[in-house]
Amino acid sequence: MTIRLMLPLVILAAVCNPAIAASRPNVILVLTDDQGYGDFSCHGNPVLKTPNLDKLHDESIRLTDFHVTPMCTPTRAQLMTGRDALASGAYCVCSGRTFLRRDLPTMAGLFAAAGYRTALFGKWHLGDNYPHRPMDRGFHHALYHLSWGITSAPDYWNNDYFDDWFRCDGKLRRYKGYCTDVWFDEAMAWMKTCQKRGQPFLTYLALNAPHGPFWAPAKYRALYPQLDRDTAGFFAMIANMDDNMARLDAMLRETGLRDNTILIFMTDNGGTGGIKVFNGNLRGAKTSHYEGGHRVPCFIRWPAGGLRPTGDVDALTQNQDILPTLLDLCGVAPPAGTRFDGTSLAPLLRGRAQPELAERILVVQYGGLEQSEPAKWDCAVMWKKWRLVKGGELYDLTSDPSQRQDVAGRHPAVGRKLREHYEKWWAGVQPALADTGCITVGSPRENPTCLSSVDWFSPKLTAAAQTIDIRLLGEMTGPEGALPMGRPPPALNGPWHIHIERDGIYEIALRRWPKEADAAITAGLPAFKAADGEFPAGKALPVAKARVKVADADVSKPVAPKDKAATFVLPLRSGRTQLQTWFYDADGKELCGAFYVDVRRR
C-alpha cells in the first residue's frame, strides 16, 4: 500500500509564506561510516585527536546509550524511515536486500512535502537504480557515490577518493579534491543557496569516511607516523573529517545559520580500523551484536531550540528515534496513519521526562555477511542495562559494561522477559522479509539501467561487491582495510530481481568489466596505482560463450576475444521476474556471471 503524503494547513502556510519558512529550524544530519565509539579523543582515545568533534561534543546533548545496527545499509534504512531494519526491506549491505519498501515514507520525502529543500551528499547505500535512488525517495538534490562506497563494484571504475567521478542527481560528473572535502564543499554551497532563497533545508551529510580502503591526504596520514599503514590511514581520514566539521561550523556562524540549525552527528556502526588502539571499553566491533558493534555516539545541538542544558543523557535510544524526533522538533506532521517503530525524543531533549523510555525494549538485528537472510535469535535485545545476545547470553552493563560475564543463569526472569518480547517482535517483522525489493527496467526515468553484481540476490554469501572481487574473481576478500573483520568469499553469480515496467524490445549487454573500463570480456587489466594505495591487476578470463535468462527467454551466443560486451535483443513483457547471466569457457564450464549488465528498452 502506498501512503499518500498530505500537507497540513500549517505546512502549506510555511511553503507559501517565506517568513514562516525562514523561522523553521534547518537540519543537518552528519553520519560517518565505520567510526566506532572509541574513535574520538573526547571518548578517551589515547592516540587519535579530534578537537573539533570534541568541541561539538561539549556543545551538545549526548545520547550515551544510543544504538544503531552493526552494518551500513540497515542503519541508513532506520534513519530514513523510523522503522526497524527488518521491517524496512533494506536489512543487508548487498545481495539484493538494500532496497527500502516503496510504501514507506522517508525522512527526505516527509520534509520535502513540508516545504523543506532536501539534499544528500556522500553515501546513500539504499539502492543504485530506479526506483530506489535518493532522487526517487524524496531528495531534491543528491551528490553521491554508488553502493557501499568508493571502490565498490558499481561505483565509477578506478575511483580512489581523489578527483573522482560521482553522481549528481543521477548524472556522472568529476569533482576535484579529496572525497570528504568534496561532500562538505558541495553541502555548504547548497545550504548557502537555500538560505539566500529563504528556504529551510534538510542536509543529509553521509560521509563514506572512514570506511576502508583507508586512503587519505598525505598531510593527515603524516600525523600518525608511529602507526601501521591501515591504522594511520583510518585515523587520517577521521582527522580530515574533523577539520571539515570545523569548516562547517565556521560557515554556520558566518552565515548566521548556526543558532537555528539542528545539527546531529552520529556514526553508522561500531569500530573497525581503530579498535586495536582503543575501543571505548566495549566488546565487539562492526557486525557484532555486542555493544561494540551497535552502540555509537549521538551528539545533538540546536542553540536556539530551547533544549535542555548540554550534557549526557543515558536513556536507552535507537537510531529509528531520529526521524520522529526531527519531525516533532521541526513541526512537521506526517500523514495520518504513518507508523514509526522509533519514538520522538523531543520531550527528552527539552528536559521533560519520558516515562515510556524507562521500560522500552529494543531489538538490534540485520542480515549479516555470512547469511543475507536474517536468522531468528541472531540479535541483541536491550532493556535498561540488560543485554540478551543471540537468545541465550545475558549481560548486566551496570556491573559489566564490557560484557565479559554471562549472567543468564542468575537472572532467568530477565532472560525470559526479553525472549518473550523478541518472539512477539520477530512474529511482526518476519512476514516482511519475504517482500524483497527489485530494480525497475524499461522506465523513462532510467534507461538504460546499469545492473551490477552487488545486487545479485544471494541467500547466504555476499555478492561480488568490490572492484577487487571482479579483478581477482573472489580470491581476495577485500582491499587493504576494507573489512578488518574479514568476510566470506563472494559469490560469483546470482540473479537480479527486476520489474519490467512496460512491454517492449530490450537490449541486454553482458560485461565482465564496466563500460568505462573499455576492456574486452576476456582481457586482463593492469594494476592500478591510486593516489594513496593500489589495486592489483585484473585476471584474464577465457570466456567463449555468454548466456542470459530473463522471464521465459534463455539464450546464448559465442564471445569473441575482442568483444567488450555480449549483447542480446529480446522482446519482454511487463511484470516482475529474474534476470541471470553466465559466462562459460570453451569446454562449457561456468566461470562466473556478468558482473555488469546494461538493460535498455528501445
Residue 22 placed within a domain: no
Query: In the predicted model, is pLDDT for residue 17 greater than 60?
Result: no
Q: What is the mean pLDDT of residues 245-267?
A: 98
Nearest Cα residue to 510 out of 557, 472, 441: 557
Strands 165-168 and 26-32: unpaired
**CA 38 to centroid of chain Cα atoms:** 20
Q: What percent of the chain has pLDDT over 90?
A: 89
Residue 568 placed within a domain: yes
Half-sphere exposure of 564 (CA within 13 A, CB side): 8
Nearest Cα residue to 264 out of 27, 24, 29: 29
Residue 444 placed within a domain: yes
CA–CA dist 547, 592 (Å, integer): 11
Nearest Cα residue to 490 out of 517, 509, 472, 505: 472
Residue keyed to cell 545499509? 73
Residue 169 placed within a domain: no
Q: What is the pLDDT of residues 46-58, one digit of tens each?
A: 999 999 999 999 9
Residue 312 placed within a domain: no
Nearest Cα residue to 31 out of 226, 283, 253, 210: 210
Q: What is the pLDDT of residues 537-585, one digit of tens each?
A: 999 999 999 999 999 999 999 999 999 999 999 999 999 999 999 999 9
Q: What is the mean pLDDT of residues 254-275?
A: 98
Q: Residue 546 sits in a domain of what CATH number? A: 2.60.120
Q: How confident is the model at residue 129 (pLDDT cuts 50, 70, 90)?
A: very high
Q: How confident is the model at residue 489 (pLDDT cuts 50, 70, 90)?
A: confident
Cβ-based neighbour number of residue 436 at 10 Å: 15
Residue 513 placed within a domain: yes
Residue keyed to cell 517483522? 429
CA triple 245-249-254, angle to 5 deg: 145
Q: What is the mean pLDDT of residues 91-102?
A: 93
The model's pTM: 0.94
Q: How confident is the model at residue 460 (pLDDT cuts 50, 70, 90)?
A: low
CA–CA dist 465, 332 (Å, integer): 38
CA distances from 326 to 33, 316, 342 (A): 21, 18, 12
- Rounded to the nearest integer, the mean pLDDT of the chain is 93
Residue 517 placed within a domain: yes
Q: Quick one: 498 exposed, middle or buried, by C-beta within 10 A (0-12, 13-18, 19+)?
A: buried
Query: In the predicted model, is pLDDT for residue 19 greater than 80?
Result: no
Q: Read off the DSSP letter of residue 384.
A: T
- Here the cell at position 331 is 513541526
- Here the cell at position 366 is 540485520
CA distances from 353 to 307, 315, 318, 360 (A): 13, 10, 17, 14
Q: What is the pLDDT of residues 517-534, one digit of tens each?
A: 999 999 999 999 999 999
**Domain range spanning residue 573?**
439-601
pLDDT of residue 595: 97
Q: What amino acid is encoded at 480 in this protein?
A: E
For 300, list phi and psi in degrees, rounded to 5. Answer: -130, 125
Query: In the predicted model, is pLDDT for residue 379 greater than 90?
Result: yes
User: How many structural domains is the chain composed of?
Assistant: 1
pLDDT of residue 368: 74
CA distances from 499 to 191, 449, 467, 599 (A): 36, 12, 26, 12
Beta strand spans in 210-290 (E): 261-267
Residue keyed to cell 524526533? 325
Length of the chain: 602
Nearby residues of 553 by Cβ (< 8 Å), 6 or more positions away: 570, 572
Residue 597 placed within a domain: yes
Q: Is 41 helix (H, G, I), strand (E, B) or coil?
A: helix
Q: What is the mean pLDDT of residues 395-415?
A: 98
- Here the cell at position 296 is 555509537
- Here the cell at position 250 is 565556521
Nearest Cα residue to 563 out of 510, 502, 490: 510
Q: How confident is the model at residue 15 (pLDDT cuts 50, 70, 90)?
A: very low
Angle between the N-to-C axes of helices 51-59 and 229-255, in degrees from 0 to 180, rounded to the nearest 10: 50
Query: In the predicted model, is pLDDT for residue 20 greater than 80?
Result: no
Residue keyed to cell 571518548? 43
